[in-house]
Structure formats: structure tokens, C-alpha cells
Amino acid sequence: MAVTEIPRVAVSACLLGEQVRYNGGHCNHRLLQSVSKNIETIPICPEVGIGLDTPRPTIRLVHDDDKIHLIEPKSGTDYTDDMIIWSELQSEFLIKQKISGIILKKDSPSCGLERVKVYHNGNPRKEGQGLFAMVFTSMNPQIPAIEEGRLNDAVQMENFFARVGMMHRWWERDQQGWTMASLQQFHSEHKLLLQSRSPNAPAALGRLISDLSGKHPQQLALEYITLAQSHMNTIVQRKHIAGALRRAVGRLPKTISGRSRQRVHTWIDGYLAGNAPRMAPLAVIEQMFEIAEIEHLPWKRLFQPFDMNSGVFAKI
Ligand code: SF4
């Protein structure tokens, strides 16, 4: 399967408006509509996937015998094995589709990523993970995964799609086959972006790819993106974004006057203090690179507004 021009993202089908929920309804997510032209979505519904009807009796996670089971309480039917087998096959299929992210419905015993109810002797504890979500994320820790509820937070939404963008570029390079040179190039392009989320990431990843133990570049590239995504799976902090922006100012050509640079630092200070959106210093620095007619790839990777029209950048 060739890599598509825009990232492919798997999404719980009910979030896309498909009437696949246990009650025959859906839970269409309005934010997904606002970004849908920038991603190609692949709908997935694990419960329909294992052959359950719509509508259907509810199922739940039950702790029994030191194991978690997926049970339909009404009939007592245990769907655990069916769901695990389907989830493994579906995870392999999604990786063949070269997906760059996955958005899952929270609280679901199949799709929920965290704090899903697990019943102990009939009493629920919010401590589990939906079975499909558990299988997919353990097989593919490199793929950014998020619950739809977190997309309501603009900072988390922007970070998720920054990770999706990086994953998509990784797939594009992967298609050509990795060499040590292309992996080092990928790393140097993404240093600023990585630093803006996790200041220790560039050094840790640099050490990984300077490994001279003779690993095949293809294997190293997978280890690289897995570690990079785990560093980027973080709560984004203004001070880290500001640090990366100041580094970018240091990369501006000498033709940019000291006074102009100082003006950018003032915008960065304003962003850091919470008085200006991130877009303000981003736009000023971008304009300076443009005026100087310099294509600075690490900057491009940091300044990669996912979608100006989504309104996300006005809120962060
Ligand atoms: S939460 Fe998952 S399993 Fe439940 S209806 Fe939505 S897609 Fe299907």
C-alpha cells in the first residue's frame, strides 16, 4: 500500500457518525469534521468487527481469575478470544495501510485507551483499557493514539497532529527504504520539533542513531520513530516551545538585524507569559525566513500548522 498524500488516521467508526453503537446510535465528533480534509480517515468498529449486531446488549470488562475478560453480562457470553484475534488481524491491516495515527472512543470496553471500567465482583473501577486499544497500542507503540475527549483541548489536539505529521513523513521515507544517511537526515530535520516537546529528545535520539552495533537501518528507523513518538507523547509546555523558538531565531541569516531579532524575542516572551498565542512568534519568524528566501527544514517541521482554518492555533 502506497503512502497517501495526506496522513491516514484510523478512527472509531461511531465518532465518524456511523450508527454502530450498542444502542444503534453514533457519537459524531464535531472537531473531526473540522480537520477531516487534512486526513484520510479509516473507520473501525471492533464490536461490529467480531460479528455483533447493532443494536446489541452492552458488553463490559470483567476481572476474573486474575485475567480481564470481555463479557456480555446479559447472556454471560465471553468475547475475549474473538476480540483479541480480530484486534491482532486488524492491527496488522492498519499498519499495512500505513496509518499515522488512531483516534479512539473513550470509555468503551473495546476502544477506550485509559480509565475504562473494569468490574470486580460487580463493582466498577476505572483502571482498564479497551481490548482492541490494548492490542493495537502494544503491537504498535510508534503510532500516535488519542481518545476523542482529549481533542477538545487545543494544546493536546495540536500535539497529536504534530505527531501524526511526523509519523506520516516517516512513512514517506520508509517507502524509499532507510539508509543510515536518510535516518540522520530525518533526525536533523526534526530536532527543533522534538526539542519543542521534550528538550532531552534530540540528544537521546542522536545517541540511538549513532549506535554502531551493526543494526540494519530499517530496524534502527523503527526504533527511532518509536522512541521519538514516546518523547513527543507529553504535555506540551510553553517553556519548551519558547526554547525551540529561540533556537530558530539563532538560525536566522545574518542579514536579519539585531533589532528585528529582539522584536521576535519580545513576541516569544509574550507567548511564554501567556499574553500572546503561539502563532504570534511563529508567524514573525516564518516571515523572516521567507524574506531571507531560506528554506530551513528544521524550522519547516516546527512551523507546520496542521490547519490554520481549524482555529486550533488561535487557542494555544
Ligand atoms: S466505541 Fe468502538 S466498538 Fe463501540 S461503537 Fe464505537 S467504534 Fe464500535
Interface pTM (ipTM) of the complex?
Answer: 1.00
Q: Report CA(15)–ligand 1 centroid distance (Å).
A: 8
Q: What is the pLDDT of residues 276-288, one digit of tens each?
A: 999 999 999 999 9
Output the average pLDDT for the chain: 94
51 sits in the region (left: phi over 0; alpha: psi -120 to 50; else beta) called left
CB-based contact 179:216 (threshold 8 Å):
no
Q: How many residues does the chain have?
A: 316
Counting from 1 in the atom list of ligand 1, the atom nearest the Cα of 27 is 6
| CB atoms near residue 77 (< 10 Å) | 13
Residue with CA at minimum distance from ligand 1 atom 4: 21
Listed range (2-16, 132-146, 253-267, 292-306) with the worst mean pLDDT: 292-306
Bridge partner residues of 77 (DSSP):
72
Q: Report CA(115)–ligand 1 centroid distance (Å).
A: 16
The pLDDT of residue 242 is 97
Q: Report CA(181)–ligand 1 centroid distance (Å).
A: 42
Local confidence band at 16 (pLDDT 50, 70, 90 cut-offs): very high
Examine the pLDDT at 111 and tell me if it is beyond 90.
yes
CB-based contact 118:125 (threshold 8 Å):
yes
The pLDDT of residue 146 is 98
| CB atoms near residue 192 (< 10 Å) | 23
